[in-house]
Each structure stands twice: as C-alpha cells, then as structure tokens.
Chains A and B, each alone.
Chain A
Amino acid sequence: MRIAVPGAAREKTLAAAPAGDPRRYYPVGRWLVAPAFIYAIIVTQIPFLVTLYYSTFRWNLMRPDRKAYIGLENYKNLITSLWDASDPYAFRAAIVNSLIFTIGTVLFSLILGLIFAELVNYEFPGRNIVRTMLITPFLVMPVAGALGWKNLMMDPDFGVIDWLLRATGTGLSPVWLAHFPRQSIVIMLVWRWAPFMMLILLAGMQSIDEEVREAARVDGATRFQEFIGITLPHLNRYMQLGALLGSVYIVQETDAIFMTTQGGPGTLTTNLPYHVYEVAVRGSNIGLGAAIGVVTVILTFIAMTVLLRMLNTLLRGQYA
C-alpha cells in the first residue's frame, strides 16, 4: 500500500529514502510507537510467557518443597478430567459455565440492545434522558452493581423482585442466588451489557441512509416492516461486532461472581477466570492455576481471531 503524501514535508522525509525503501512509511513514527509497544510487551506478553512456563510445574505455594517440573502433565490432567464424571478439577464445570454466561449474556444483551436502540433511535419527548438511563448500568462499578442486585433486587425477604412476585399473587418467592444461580448471574451481566449492545447498534442505525427509510415510508411501510426490512439487514455487521466484542469482554467476567455467588452453589457459577483465582490465589496451586489460565487464553484467542478478521473488514471498508 502506498500513501500519497502531498506537500513539502513529503520531499523532506522521502528524500532520505530511495524508492521502494520501507522507510517511506514515515520512519520517525516507529520511535513514536516504540514506548507504547515496549510497555505492552513487558506488562502483558512477558507475564503470559511466564504463565506458560509456570503451567509446566507442579507447584503449590503451601508445599514449595514439592515443586517440580512436570511438563504437560497439568494439561493432561485437566483434559482427562473432562471425561471423569466427578470432574475433580471442576474444569468441565468452569468451561460449561463460561460458555453459558458468555453465550447467554451476549444473546439476551443483543436482543435487548436491539429493542433499546430501536426505541431511542426516534425523536420523542425526553429521548436523551431515556438513552442516558439505558446506558447507565454499563457505567456502574460492576462490584457495586452486583451488590445492589444481590441485596436490593434479589434478596428473598427484602428484595424488590420477590416482593413484586408476592405482591402480584404469583405465590413465587425464589431464593435467586441459590435456586437460579446461573440465571441470576446472566441477569446481572445482561443488565450491564445490553447498554453496550444498544450503543453499537444505535451507531449502526444512525448510519442507515435516511432516503431508503423515507422511500419505504412513502410505500406505506409500518415501523415494524421498516425495522425488519431495512434496519435489521443493515445491522448485521454491527450485531456481529457487538457479539464478538461482548464475548471477549464477558468471558473475562469475575466481578459479579465474586460479589454474589463466589462460584457456588458448588461449582454452578464458577467460570474459567474465577476458577484461576480459586485455584491459584485461594488454593495456592500456581502450576494448575497457570494451566487453567492458559486454556482461558486459548479459548479467548479463538473468539478473538474471528473478531479481528471482522474488524479488519470494517477497517478495509473504511479506508477503501
């Protein structure tokens, strides 16, 4: 790719570089990127390599005398435990829960986000206030939001949800976090992530050519028909983007689990990142925890690869 550079500055920079020289790409720029690049390498890439290294050890901080290099045995144990009915490392549970939380949250957040975006895409009295209210959950400190949900909303005795259920005569009063732990986590996560989806889809809706909409209206399309026929097809790419970005963030979720269920009851709400914390930090099992961390990274990486391909397409569209 060649960048057309007008003006005198071009003469100056390119004078030093013969045609075809890679430095035609603005050599000083490398030095401007270098600090950020080096910083990112040191704080993210090197620790990850160390995680890989640790994962090849049997290493429990409580028993440093037993520390030993064991190669891929941690991984072997983890993978064979997937077929063990008793799930001795709670590894299968963590994978299953990660999938449930991520897919469940992304799916419901997308649906809600789509509804929200469609609602506030039109002018009505107080539209800005409604939009502001709808994005607020995303800004709320996750730890504080989770505590609010656990107590004010989901408490079986004093929570608003159970009070509503009793008051409306349904005769239901579940102990949310005990009876529906996974659903409760997904509810909290959807509350947080639906606004995110709304923002992305709203941006998508606002990029729709208004003339197409007008033409549809002239032809007598209802708002619903317009939504199905014009908005939805146009949003396809934005929905993919939201789903992929959302899953990369949501798969890392620990805050709500930390503050409400602590992974329980049993292992019902233990996802992969929370499991790493439990095994390595609370259980002092550095080797096994590192191996679970590596698996988490690999699974995230799979989602990421798809995402990057898509962002690349978006970028290419932008600068074509």
Chain B
Amino acid sequence: MRKQRRGRANRERASAVWTVVAWIIGLIFFFPVLYIVLTGFKSESTAITLPPKLIFTPTFEQYREVISRGFTPFFRNSLIASLVSTLIVLILAVPAAYALALRPMRKWKDLLFFFISTKFLPPAGIIIPLYVIFRDLRLLNTLQGLILVYIAMNLPIAIWMLRSFFDEVPRDVLDAARVDGAGMFREMTQILLPMIGPGLVATAFLSIIFAWNEFFFAVNLVATNQAATVPLFMQKFITSEGLFWAKLCAASTMAIAPVVLLGWAAQRQLVRGLSMGAVK
C-alpha cells in the first residue's frame, strides 16, 4: 500500500527550477563535509589557500603523518567499543523486543516507555556517579567501561526499533514461535530472525554509528591513551599548536568515513531508529 503510493509520488516530476534549487541547497549543505575530505588530501600550505582550491594534486602525506602520530590504536579502540557494545545490545534487545511485540504482561507499554525514558536521561545526570563507581571498580580508562555505557546508551533505541520490526511480522508467525523452551529458541533463530533481518542490520548500524561518534562519556571516563577512542584523538587537535588543518582533515576523514558509509547504507531505516520506531 505504502509502496504503491510512493511509486505514484515518484512519477511526479519536479520542474527544472526546483531541480536546480535542490541541487544547490544539497551541495551547500554537503560542502563542509566535502571540504574536510578534500583538505585532507592537500599539503598544509594548500589547505589554507583562499579561494579554496577544489582542484589540486592530492597527497597522502597527511594520512601518513596522522597514522604515524598513533591514530591506529584510537581507531582500533573505537572499532572494538562500537562493535562489541552493538553485539551485546543485540543480544539483550532481540529477546526483549520480541517479548514486547508479543505483549508479555498487562503493563507492557509501561515497560516500553521505561526503556525510552532511560534514553532521555541526560548523560550529565549520571556521569558523576559513573565516574566515581568506575574509579572504584577500576573501570576508568578501560574499553570495558566504555562498552558498558554504550550498551545502556543504545539499548532503548534497539529495543524500540526491533519491536517495530517484529510488529510487522504476521501475527501467526509470531505466535507460532510462542512455544516454550528449546522450540522457541529454534523458531526465533530459524524463522523470526531471518524475517526481521534487514531491521536487525539497520539496528546494528545505528547502534554502531552512535557508539562510534560518542564523545561525552569517552572524555569523562577515559583519560589515558590506552582506551581512548577516535573522538578523543580529534580532541587533541584543539590543543595542538599552529595550523595543521590538512592533518586535522585527514584525521577527520578517517574518523567520519566508516559511519558515514554505514549511514548511507542504512538511510531508509535511519528515521525509524531515530524516532524509536514511531515513524517508518
């Protein structure tokens, strides 16, 4: 039904004027990203040349420089933190979302709203005890600590998003999986999970994106390089002396590339995750 409508809407063509307007606005909005990426391939002196050079001989010198300054461990830490936290998020969220789609109890809606409310608890409201507790548990400056926080950060989004995908599974299939014990597990892994496969992938992408980009917890809970993630590598550039824009931009490009690509791949599902499944 929805597809049909969209199909008809697609046949509505915009006029040439609107096409040009749309392209100009798109390019203006995209320009800062484009300019960051381009500048990463410039020499430091070309980087601050005005008018901005859009055509130049690219160099990989800045990338080499950034990597030799120890970018790789930060990248690896980010990778571990976002992938491991996402994996655990899915392990916790899939059964919860499935159960919530089946309505496990009279107050299932309250439960659903409990999860969303944890997402809206500002990090500033919990960061101080987290810091103190982590210090006592020796979790400060560890990836394990960050992962624990990122799981909590992404869990509500994952539950809401997955539940909205489970809701689209035909009721009969959902109910067929309601047999207890081993049968249920088999139903879930062999029948249900493949059906919500695209949703599962989109949920994982979103969770990775948010964990990858996260800065506030990282800057408060990680002070040493040992567990520092990419945003913390970027932060060091604000204290560095002089103009190193090309290097900064090379680092930025490596920092943003993985999740920008993931986001492009998941753009159809992005809105569902961001609106907690309320908008499809």
Contacts and interface: CB of A to CB of B under 8 A. Distances in A.
Contacts of B213: 141-143
Contacts of A144: 36, 231, 234, 251-252, 255-256
Contacts of B122: 251-252, 272-273, 293, 296-297, 300
Nearest to A129: B26
Report the 10 A-B pairs with minimum CB-CB distance, sorted nearest first: A29-B104, A29-B99, A50-B129, A139-B263, A32-B99, A43-B152, A133-B30, A122-B14, A32-B95, A130-B26
A77 interface: no
B238 A32 contact: no
A269 to B, nearest CB: 15
Q: Which of B19, B120, B252, B270 has the most CB of A within 10 A?
A: B120
Interface residues of B, number: 116
A248 B8 CA distance: 35
Given A10-B175, A30-B105, A280-B127, A121 B9 contact: yes
Interface in A130-183: 130-145, 147-149, 151-153, 157-158, 160, 163, 167
Contact of B116 (A124, A138, A308): A308
Contact of A47 (B130, B230, B238): B130
Given A152-B32, A191-B29, 6 more contacts: A1-B103, A28-B99, A28-B184, A33-B104, A144-B256, A276-B128
B121 A115 contact: no
Interface in B9-42: 9-14, 18-19, 21-23, 25-27, 29-33, 35-36, 39
Given A33-B111, A144-B255, A3 B124 contact: no
A79 interface: no
- Give the interface SS of chain A, mostly helix, strand, loop or mixed: helix
A149 B175 CA distance: 52
Interface string A32-64: 110111011001111110110010000000000
B44 to A, nearest CB: 11
Contacts of B6: 206
B80 interface: no
B260 interface: yes
Contacts of A132: 264, 267
B14 A123 contact: yes
